[in-house]
């Protein structure tokens, strides 16, 4: 039995539900020698701001039980350099059938707007944009720009005026129901749930953090049940399509997100463990859909039975 695996994520037509999580897949071309990236439904590129960001000092990453903790600090070359260096390859990737979603970063609403304006101008091949509202708002003392419905709504309202292309939001793992409602009201086309969870990893011999900063972003399989729960909670209260993100290592992990209400799924930490993981998971998800006796993967979105 053949299952239709195509999905529509807020206006982005994907040939299958597998996406890649921003920051775990570079700008796509870094993986081209491992497998045919065009076989994926979409990739989400590493976040870029209007101007280059240097990121945090080393060490930036550390393994922990069940996952990893990172403190990269969203290092990026800025939108102009990104478009010039990676644009031609990404343009061809989109023509080959894999959609390209570009992540937008900023430390304030005006910074998000400026970065999105540059993306909209310089990246005609982008199918849509993901706004990372988990960036620290420097003007507000370092709290995440999207940590409250008011903050997330302000960013979305301003960005919605910049482009007619699909706009998605990478949500922080906090207050997700209220923030999701605010984002829907301000015109978001879809939600990516969730971003990494803040955690700490201490070297007990040096008594110092195992990354350069005291805290970092926790990701991997240990976060998966939390992310599935938050996807399900949000799916109950908004009509927006959801991209499930968090600890997807197998096709069954992806299937959990689909059943909880996600239209598509992003593979993150698994890319570090196995560079071909995203393609493998796409195949495993299709096999699972076939085992469920459906003709279309969309029949399984939100099919969790309480």
Q: Does the structure show a pLDDT above 90 at 139?
A: no
Say what percent of the chain tops pLDDT 70.
Answer: 97
Say what percent of the chain tops pLDDT 90.
Answer: 94
* Per-residue pLDDT at 147: 85
pLDDT in tens, 215-239: 999 999 999 999 999 999 999 999 9
Q: Does the structure show a pLDDT above 90 at 185?
A: yes
Residue with more model confidence, 108 or 136: 108
pLDDT in tens, 56-66: 999 999 999 99
Q: Which residues are catalytic?
A: 135
Q: Does the structure show a pLDDT above 60 at 138?
A: no
Q: Does the structure show a pLDDT above 70 at 103?
A: yes
DSSP string of the chain, one letter each residue: ---B--EEETTEEESSSEEE-TTSSTTSGGGTTTS-GGGSSEEEEEEE-SS-B--PPSP-EEEETTEEEE-----B--HHHHHHHHHHHHHHHHHTT-EEEEEE--SSHHHHHHHHHHHHHH-TT-SEEEEETTSB-GGGTT-BTTSSHHHHHHHHHHHHTT-SS-EEEE--SSSHHHHHHHHHHTT-SEEEE--PEEE--EETTTTEESSSSS-EEEESGGGHHHHHHHHHHHHTT--S-EEEES---SHHHHHHHHHHT-SEEEE-THHHH-TTHHHHHHHHHHHHHHHTT-SBGGGGTT----
* Per-residue pLDDT at 64: 97
* Per-residue pLDDT at 142: 56
* Per-residue pLDDT at 144: 74
Entry pTM: 0.96
* Per-residue pLDDT at 140: 62
* Mean pLDDT value across the chain: 95
* Per-residue pLDDT at 146: 84
Which pLDDT band holds residue 135 (cuts at 50, 70, 90)? confident
Which pLDDT band holds residue 99 (cuts at 50, 70, 90)? very high
Q: Does the structure show a pLDDT above 70 at 275?
A: yes
């Amino acid at each position: 039995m053949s299952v239709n695996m195509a999905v529509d994520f807020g206006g982005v037509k994907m040939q299958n539900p597998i996406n890649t999580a921003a920051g775990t897949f570079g700008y796509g071309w870094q993986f081209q020698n491992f497998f045919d990236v065009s076989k994926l439904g979409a990739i989400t590129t590493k976040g870029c701001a209007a101007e280059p960001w240097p990121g945090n000092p080393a060490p930036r990453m550390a393994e922990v039980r069940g996952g990893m903790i990172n403190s990269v600090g969203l290092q990026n070359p800025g939108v102009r350099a990104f478009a010039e260096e990676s644009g031609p390859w990404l343009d061809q990737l989109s023509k080959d059938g894999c959609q390209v979603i570009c992540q937008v970063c900023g430390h304030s609403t005006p910074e998000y707007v400026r970065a999105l304006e540059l993306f909209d101008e310089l990246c005609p091949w982008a199918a849509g944009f993901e706004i990372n509202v988990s960036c620290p708002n420097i003007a507000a003392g370092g709290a995440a720009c999207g940590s409250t419905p008011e903050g997330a709504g302000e960013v979305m309202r301003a960005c919605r005026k910049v482009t007619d292309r699909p706009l998605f939001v990478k949500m922080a793992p906090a207050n997700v129901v209220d923030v999701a409602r605010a984002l829907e009201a301000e015109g978001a086309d879809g939600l990516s749930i969730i971003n990494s969870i803040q955690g700490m990893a201490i070297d007990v011999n040096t008594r110092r953090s195992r990354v350069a900063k005291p805290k970092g972003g926790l990701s991997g399989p240990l976060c998966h049940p939390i992310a599935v729960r938050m996807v399900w909670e949000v799916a109950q209260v908004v009509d927006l399509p959801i991209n499930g993100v968090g600890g997807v290592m197998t096709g069954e992990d992806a299937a959990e997100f689909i059943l909880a209400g996600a239209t598509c799924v992003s593979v993150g930490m698994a890319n570090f463990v196995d560079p071909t993981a995203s393609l493998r998971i796409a195949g495993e998800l299709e096999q699972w859909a076939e085992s469920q006796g459906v003709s279309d993967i969309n029949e399984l979105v939100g099919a969790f039975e309480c």
